[in-house]
Amino acid sequence: MPSVPSVLFVCVHNAGRSQMAAAWLAHLAGGRIEVRSAGSAPAETINPAVAGAMREVGVDISAEVPKVLTAEAVRASDVVITMGCGDACPVFPGKRYLDWKLDDPAGQGIAAVRPIRDEIRVRVEALIAELLLLR
């Protein structure tokens, strides 16, 4: 049986975009894809507006904690999706890298976070279809 594909989502603070993407992937893929998220300069806590926006769609990320990006996390992932972390993301040969240009929800209210949340869901759904089709 083929191994389960693994995806790492990376943004600067691991408090918004990468947390939403990881939560959507875990929620929608139902264990068929391994999910990680990290930040190049992690915040202390998850962005409350992000947690609220995800709670509105039935996905609770309030217990998540921002994690620091490590070379090991990159090495262990098949696909690394960055969201504004720039050169802080380590690059390893043989990994697939994607950069998702998304607005940063930092400092934004829940009304501004909703469209970012919804755009991430669309991208994650496409990623799931692609990764599972390749297996």
d(CA 123, CA 105): 17
111, 87, 93, 118: which is closest to 10 by C-alpha? 87
Cα dist from 115 to 18, 45, 95, 103, 111, whole Å:
15, 21, 29, 9, 8
Q: 69-120: per-residue pLDDT in tens?
A: 998 999 999 999 999 766 666 677 778 999 999 999 999 999 999 999 999 9
Range from 44-48, 126-130, 131-135 carrying the lowest mean pLDDT:
131-135
In the predicted model, is pLDDT for residue 8 greater than 80? yes
User: What are the boundaries of each domain within the chain?
Assistant: 6-133
Examine the pLDDT at 18 and tell me if it is beyond 60: yes
Q: What is the pLDDT at residue 91?
A: 73
What average pLDDT does the chain have? 91
Which of these, 4, 7, 49, lies nearest to 24 by C-alpha position?
7
**Lowest mean pLDDT: which of 2-16, 17-31, 52-66?**
2-16
pLDDT of residue 84: 75
Architecture of domain 6-133 in this structure? 3-Layer(aba) Sandwich (3.40)
Q: What is the pTM of this model?
A: 0.93
Considering all CA atoms of the chain, what is the largest pairwise distance in Å, rounded to the nearest integer? Answer: 45
Question: Which of 21, 25, 19 lies closest to 4, judged by CA?
Answer: 25
Q: Is the pLDDT score of 1 beyond 70?
A: no
54-71 confidence digits (pLDDT tens):
999 999 999 999 999 998
